[in-house]
């Protein structure tokens, strides 16, 4: 298990908590934002952070302000973005890797993309279940800003994801030559597959290998 440490980050009148998972020999840094319904201590976040650190990435996770304050509803996008930017600035000082990537689970990935579109700060982006639209509302797309991102992007999407299917993402990403789509067969929004299909540990390991290669070898 990689070494990890907890840190307090202050910006303006706000503060939040971040956790750094250190790689033995880091080749890159990845800042990951959590999804809307769970904080950085959710098993998914911890599992992926530890696994990616074992694959040579310094991984930084953090709580958005509403989660740090234990509120249920996410903050408005400007506040979410400000928090992500503060963590990025802090992580760059803490982790000295030449390559720097950002991304996240669902909402965390979306906010990372909005930050990058407005003020480029990363060399690559990784989305773990990109929320292209709310479930059953395919007309409410969250993709217009993606064309303003000019670094490689990796979309890891479950085949059964109600927030955005392969068929919906492919025509959008086709217009973005540096975007790649990796579909998880039978996967849901959390990249989980039914037990009858395949062992989740095997699925996770393949995805974690794919993510690490993308960031390091892109």
Query: For the residues 8-23, what does the mean pLDDT come to?
Result: 97
**In what helix (H) or strand (E) does residue 21 lie, and over which residues does it extend?**
strand 14-21
Indicate the domain borders of the chain.
4-217
3-state helix, strand, coil in the chain (%, to 5): 35, 25, 40
Checking if the pLDDT of 36 tops 90, the result is yes
The conformation of residue 132, written as its DSSP 8-state character, comes to -
**In what helix (H) or strand (E) does residue 66 lie, and over which residues does it extend?**
helix 65-68
Alpha-carbon span 98 to 185, nearest angstrom: 33
For residue 197, the tally of other CB atoms under 10 A from its CB is: 11
What is residue 177's predicted lDDT score, i.e. its pLDDT?
84
* Ramachandran bin of 6, using left for φ above 0, alpha for ψ from -120 to 50, beta for the remaining angles: beta
Tell me which residue has tokens 């009858």. 196
Q: Fold for domain 4-217?
A: Rossmann fold (3.40.50)
In this prediction the pTM is 0.96
pLDDT digits (tens, 9 = 90+) for 78-134: 999 999 999 999 999 999 888 999 999 999 999 999 999 999 999 999 999 999 999
Sorted by sequence, the CB contacts under 8 Å of residue 115 that are 6+ apart come out as: 81, 84, 85, 88, 102, 121
């Amino acid at each position: 298990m990689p070494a990890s440490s907890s840190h307090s980050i202050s910006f303006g009148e706000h503060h939040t908590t971040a956790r750094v998972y250190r790689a033995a020999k880091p080749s890159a840094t990845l800042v990951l934002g959590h999804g809307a319904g769970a904080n950085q201590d959710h098993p998914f976040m911890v599992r992926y952070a530890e696994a990616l650190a074992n694959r040579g990435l310094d991984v930084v996770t953090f709580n958005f302000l509403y989660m740090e304050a234990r509120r249920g509803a996410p903050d408005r996008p400007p506040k979410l973005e400000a928090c992500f930017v503060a963590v990025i600035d802090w992580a760059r000082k803490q982790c000295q890797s030449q390559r720097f990537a950002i991304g996240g689970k669902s909402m965390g990935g979306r906010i990372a993309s909005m930050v990058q579109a407005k003020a480029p700060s990363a060399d690559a982006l990784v989305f773990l279940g990109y929320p292209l639209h709310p479930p059953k509302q395919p007309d409410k797309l969250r993709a217009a800003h993606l064309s303003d991102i000019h670094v490689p992007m990796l979309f890891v999407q479950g085949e059964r994801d109600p927030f955005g299917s392969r068929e919906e993402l492919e025509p959008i990403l086709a217009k973005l030559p540096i975007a790649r789509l990796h579909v998880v067969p039978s996967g849901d929004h959390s990249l989980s597959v039914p037990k009858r299909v395949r062992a989740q540990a095997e699925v996770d390991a393949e995805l974690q290998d794919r993510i690490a290669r993308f960031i390091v070898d892109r």
